[in-house]
Amino acid sequence: MTASMPKLNIHKASSGGELATWLPVILGLIVLYAPSLYDLFTGIWARDEQMHGPIVLGISCWLIHRNWPNMREASTKGTPTAWGWLFFIFGVLLYALGRSQDIIMFEIGSVVWLLIGIALLNLGSNALKAQWFALFFMLFMVPLPGVVVDTVTMPMKMAVSYVAEHVLFWVGYPIGRSGVILQIGQYMLLVADACAGLHTLLTLEALGLLYLNLVRRDSLFRNVGLATLIVPISFTANVIRVMALSLITYHFGDEAGQGFLHGFAGMVLFLSALLLIISFDNFLLHVEKWRNRALLQHGAQA
């Protein structure tokens, strides 16, 4: 089913013509979501466990801009489709329900459906495929229901606390644990959601997927292998952050652990995750080379 409307020749349009075409869409989205973004920036995005939201939004917008030439090129190989109305209307209804009932997941998640509908109505499915990762990446900024977060987060915090305690005890630090509370020396630390929760795991998952998208490896083995390893990498990075906070508190006091160095530990989290991702990527490269050499030798012997 295709729309009877004429196809927008975005690829051949001048910069001014293209801006004039998309300006009403951009203004409409700004008017619709400006109140939502204000609520987010003054609400849950101001909390430690949700501070990845603005970063994901910014990266998603950059990805859309980065893939724009590919989207325009793909639009010349397809036609707009009226199926986009289904996604557009669903997005509008989802936004109305979320905004009126204060369901933030519906309100923010609706933007993905609206953008899908707009792309299909104006450019077609081929153009939408060029932006699939940017739209998928946006899902990481959608706040999850508290019930889901609480259910998944507690076992994760327990596991992170357990590993951090045993590693620090093994290297000689006076540390004990009761549930998700670590006691190192005279200090007690609560492993909070921001340190080892579901949101942190999702943020690191997003970081790993972004890395895969940017490097664009041709090897299926490396892509699948690294995507699979993102979960243990995220867990390890969380353990490193908790251990860093514990050591900061033990050596420099509770004030240092809760102040600037607490934020610095967050930087350590992402830096360690990125270094682990790059290290495992290089490791998989060597494994793939070894496997290819083995296959060539086996083929030569046969």
> Which sequence positions are flagged as catalytic?
195, 241
State the residue for tokens 């350590």. Answer: 268
Q: Which residues of 54-79 are buried (b: 16+ CB within 10 A; e: fewer)?
A: ebbbebbeebbeebbeebbebbeebe
Cβ contact 41:119 at 8 Å: no
What is the SS3 string spanning 9-23? CCCCCCHHHHHHHHH
Sheet holding 181-184, edge to edge: 175-178, 181-184, 187-190
Q: Is 105 helix (H, G, I), strand (E, B) or coil?
A: helix
Helices (H) and strands (E) in the chain, counts: 13, 3
Query: CA-to-CA distance for 235 and 158, rounded, in angstroms?
Result: 12
Q: Hey, what are 10's tokens?
A: 């975005």
Cβ contact 98:135 at 8 Å: no
Q: Hey, what are 42's tokens?
A: 């003054």
List Cβ neighbours of 181 (8 Å cut-off, separation of 6 or more): 161, 188, 189, 190, 191
Query: CA-to-CA distance for 109 and 114, rounded, in angstroms?
Result: 9
CA–CA distance from 95 to each of 35, 86, 98, 128, 261 (Å)? 12, 14, 5, 21, 39
